[in-house]
Every structure is written in structure tokens, then in C-alpha cells.
Amino acid sequence: MSEADRKSLKVRTGMVRRLAKELSMYEQEVATEQAKVAGLKERGADKHDIKYAENILAESTAMLPDTRQRLEEALQELQGLVEEFSGSLAGSAELTQAEEQVAAVQPLFA
């Protein structure tokens, strides 16, 4: 296996890791903003403040499908590389990390 193949596997692994973290952050942001909007409505806050918080919530919610799709595509690419290099890179750190990342992210799409 060439060094370029190792680098490709490492880059794809990092991409899946980053997108999984990004998706998690958006999900947390949506939950936080939902609580903020609910709190503002409960307190009877100014309509402008509520509208602003709802806009932030809408923007965060809109990012979820795109991020999820990019993660799914990156995961499929990484799975393909893991299968392709499973023989030639067996036992290598790059392949082990890629397999661990696939195992960690796969449940999100089950």
C-alpha cells in the first residue's frame, strides 16, 4: 500500500470524525435554542426577542439535514476504503482508526 493510500484513509477518517462532531453540535444547538424560545415565550418576552430566537433556531434546524447527508456520504466513502484496504493495511493504525470511526458513526444511520 502506498503512502498516498494511507493518507487518503487518514483524511477520510478525519472527515467523518469532524462531520460527526459537527452534527452533534448542531443537535445540541437546536435543543438549546428550543429551550431558549420556550423560556422566552413562558416569560412573555418581547416579540422581537422571541422572533430573533426563533430565527436562530430555524437556521440551526436547517443545517441538520445537510450535515447529516454529508456525514452519510463521507461514511460510505470511508467504509469503501476500509473494505478496499482491509487486506493490505491489516493491523495498521490508520485502518484501526478508520474502523473505529465507522463503528462509532454507523449507529446514527441504523
DSSP code string of the chain: --HHHHHHHHHHHHHHHHHHHHHHHHHHHHHHHHHHHHHHHHHT--HHHHHHHHHHHHHHHHHHHHHHHHHHHHHHHHHHHHHHHTTTTTT-HHHHHHHHHHHHHGGGG-
Residue 16 has pLDDT above 80, yes or no: yes
All domains of the chain in start order, with CATH: 3-101 (1.20.58.90)
Residue 90 has pLDDT above 80, yes or no: no
pTM: 0.85
Q: Model confidence over 40-78: pLDDT tens digits? A: 999 999 999 999 999 999 999 999 999 999 999 999 999
